[in-house]
Structure 1
Amino acid sequence: MSPIRPGKVEPRAGRNFRWVARRPGGVPTPAAPRPPVDDRTPAYRETPRWGLSDPRPAADVLPQTRTERLAELAPTLLGATIVLFGLAAFAELLRYGLLLYNRNALVSPTVLAVSDALVFTMGVLAPLVAFAAASASVAWLLGARRNAWQRVGREDPRSAAAVAFGCLVPVVNLVWPGVFLSELATADHRIRSLVRVWWVTWAASGVMLVVSLVWRSQDSLQARANGVLFAVLMNLVAAAAAALTLMLTRRVGGLDLGGRPRSHTRWVVA
């Protein structure tokens, strides 16, 4: 028992003892048995992998919506768009080479048929896949904007219909997609710079498409030949726009161009 001063009540916080009242002459109540202490050395069948960086337990996975499933196809469709527009540029360049060759010699009908088939096939497939990629990219943009606004505890001020209208309607989609992406990338200056580059490339590809349609309406042979060369440049710009779109979707998701998590560089003062 700790020494106490007689006649002074010790506060409970200062005591390291307690009073127990028993009946006179009674048998003390035995203390409740304590469970045995397991002092064995822990053993593991494999190397423990727990630590401070344990992932959080997975929450209940909700079924994906149609928009989310379409958004997952965006990287694949954008990659296919890059390849098809690259092949379209090659087909137009091959046709321009045949035009130069035909100035001094006749072109084989077989080679000409192959060139025409390649130009026609790429001219049909590339725009169709590009439209599918644009639709999937809009679905990705809706999900990315929703997640970004949820992180700050708010809802996206723009409706899904407004975003889809601004991204898919011709002429209008030369301006509004850049606005939507700029609102998404307000917190990261690197993403904002990439958005500006993408915006310029995207607008240039749209303007070049209109110029190409007007150019090909001319009847002179030289104008048509220049139109073929212009189509090569237009397809390359379209492929660059698709590549920048893929890079932008990866960068916003914290991934590299191949879809792997980006490794952040840490600078240490030595």
Structure 2
Amino acid sequence: MSSRVPQVPLDRWFSSERAMGLGASILIGLVTVTTWATAWSDGYSYHTLKTYGDDPGRLDEADLISGSLGIVSALALLSAAVVFIVWLWRVRWNAEMFCRGEHRHTRGWVIGCWLVPVVNLWYPKQVVDDIVAASDARTDPHTPALKDVPGTRLVWAWWLTWVAGLVTGNIVQRGVLAGASQLGDLRTNVILSSVSALFTTGAAVLAVILIQRVDELQTQRPWVPWWAAGTPRNGFQPPAR
């Protein structure tokens, strides 16, 4: 990474993103509910096939329930993702005001990091790590590079549970799209969707805590931009988290 000096953004100022964070938190909670509903529908499909395997009406009903909940779950996830990314974009602007330190990824990656395959397994964590570091009052406003500031256990826990839920959820999705109809396949889907729901719930709780933490950091810290914060602290060392 280059050691470029960031431009002074004189065309904007700090803003509280508490309302946007609250909206993201509510939608994240909705995703948790729909995830468990989807897991229940997988169990219902398994039970229906096992008990009423020769009844087309019952099987069609189970398929309708599963498909409907799948659509609702996808819409909830999309809504939560959009609002969370908008919140992330806005708190990134605040973070750039608090600290001149170079972020590991440009602002465009705040959106792109979720969409690009493979790198979406670690870029989003780095984006959030840098925002948290820049927002923390313990971080010197003149820190040259935010990657030198240790990450937090909260971000680590949130990201690991999210990735675990994402991986198990994708396995379930592939099984459903393959038209799983045998009892063994459906039983596997029930297990994996339940595991995915557990990880997703954990990630959702941690995400809400993370949103609250960033809001606290950015609203409790004096709104003094880095270029007006005086000279760097002598002997500054990145704070332990």
TM-score if structure 1 supplies the norm length? Answer: 0.57
Paired position in structure 1 for 2:46: 96
Using the TM superposition, give the Cα deviation of residue 166 of structure 1 relative to its aligned residue in structure 2, in angstroms.
Answer: 0.5
Mapping of residues 24-39 of structure 1, within 5 Å: none
Deviations 1:128-165 (A, max 9, x none): 22122112111111222222332235676643312210
Instruction: Confirm or deny that 1:240 pairs with 2:202.
Output: yes
Q: Determine which structure has more spread, i.e. the larger CA radius of gyration.
A: 1
Paired position in structure 1 for 2:32: 82
Q: Aligned partners of 1:91, 1:131: CA distance in 2, in Å?
A: 20
Using the TM superposition, give the Cα deviation of residue 72 of structure 1 relative to its aligned residue in structure 2, in angstroms.
Answer: 5.8
- The structure 1 residue matched to 2:98, chosen from 144, 151, 154, is 151
Deviations 1:247-269 (A, max 9, x none): 211222139xxxxx9xxxxxxxx
Using the TM superposition, give the Cα deviation of residue 232 of structure 1 relative to its aligned residue in structure 2, in angstroms.
Answer: 3.0
- The structure 1 residue matched to 2:184, chosen from 222, 229, 238, is 222
- Change over 3 Å in CA distance of 1:89–1:224 after alignment to 2: closer
Mapping of residues 40-59 of structure 1, within 5 Å: none
Q: Aligned partners of 2:121, 2:49: CA distance in 1, in Å?
A: 34
Using the TM superposition, give the Cα deviation of residue 221 of structure 1 relative to its aligned residue in structure 2, in angstroms.
Answer: 3.9
Mapping of residues 171-186 of structure 1, within 5 Å: 171-186=118-133
- The structure 2 residue matched to 1:124, chosen from 71, 83, 86, is 71
Q: Aligned partners of 2:173, 2:37: CA distance in 1, in Å?
A: 20
Q: Aligned partners of 2:37, 2:88: CA distance in 1, in Å?
A: 27
Q: Secondary structure at the match of 1:140?
A: helix
- Change over 3 Å in CA distance of 1:241–1:133 after alignment to 2: same
- Change over 3 Å in CA distance of 1:169–1:134 after alignment to 2: farther
- Change over 3 Å in CA distance of 1:254–1:71 after alignment to 2: closer
Q: Secondary structure at the match of 1:254?
A: helix
Using the TM superposition, give the Cα deviation of residue 115 of structure 1 relative to its aligned residue in structure 2, in angstroms.
Answer: 3.4
Q: Which has the higher contact order (CA 8 A, sep 6+)?
A: 2
- Change over 3 Å in CA distance of 1:210–1:244 after alignment to 2: same
- Change over 3 Å in CA distance of 1:171–1:133 after alignment to 2: farther
Paired position in structure 1 for 2:162: 202
Q: Aligned partners of 1:165, 1:252: CA distance in 2, in Å?
A: 21
TM-score if structure 2 supplies the norm length? Answer: 0.62
Any unmatched runs of 5+ in structure 1?
Answer: 1-61, 256-260, 262-270
Q: Aligned partners of 1:203, 1:159: CA distance in 2, in Å?
A: 22
- The structure 2 residue matched to 1:141, chosen from 83, 88, 91, is 88
Any unmatched runs of 5+ in structure 2?
Answer: 1-12, 139-148, 221-241
